[in-house]
Amino acid sequence: MPRLTSYNVYLRTVLALGCLVGFFFTAWGSRALAGDNTANPAATYTTTTEGSTPTHRSEIDSWYGQVFIYVGGSFPAGTQLAYFQYLFDLPNGGNNIGYITPLLFERTPGEAYTVYTVAGIGRGFEVKLDSAAQTIPFDVIEGTKVSTNGNFTFGFINAIVNSGGTPLLTSPGAVDYDAPGDGGEGVGGAGTTNDWAASDSKSPTPVVALGTTFGAPGASTDYIFLAPPFRTYSALATGVAP
């Protein structure tokens, strides 16, 4: 199972240099982050970050294996997710470790409800308590790696899952949150919010296979969200697009 030790050291080093994003893009290269650029080596890439600031918040989830989706904004078409950053600085009943698997969702607006469909499953990690924000790569192991239109967002499940989306290990929450959610803009700036939806999935723990759907109560989906108000989780995702 992947562990975060190297990534914690990696992140602190990058933060000390004041160039987290630049380091990722320099170290991995534009071809690694945004696909093979052989056809157009002179292309310019733009970074995009969505979500909420990884800062200390007052609560941590007690349910195992829940899914959380950022509903306050979306990525531009063509964005490939590069990394997921979060803050986990609150123990939950003495539990000092947890599991996080990043997920990519496609949002389909409807007349009455918006449906969020799993479009990409990331590589999962065991994570530990830390007073500083931590970073894990957003490596998609199944499904699409790129937001093919402007309706893609991200989320995560507190579990390690296989490529079929079945949880292998689950944990309570490993990301701080506020409820109700914070006002103001999300990290994406104008037109975004700090709104996150939490799945009503205490039992059974959801299977996040490609095509699995989530939506508000009343929606015809595989899983539904807890009733409003929205929450705010201390997590964001960053990607690049030409």
H-helix or E-strand containing 26? helix 20-34
* Contacts with 30 (C-beta within 8 Å, 6 or more apart), sequence order: 37, 43, 45, 240
pLDDT for the residue numbered 40: 53
Residue extents of the structural domains in the chain: 5-241
> Global pTM?
0.83
Query: What's the pLDDT tens digit per position in 5-41?
Result: 444 444 343 334 334 444 344 334 333 343 444 345 5
H-helix or E-strand containing 223? strand 223-224
pLDDT for the residue numbered 92: 78
Which range is least confidently modeled, 167-176, 180-189, 202-211, 232-241?
202-211
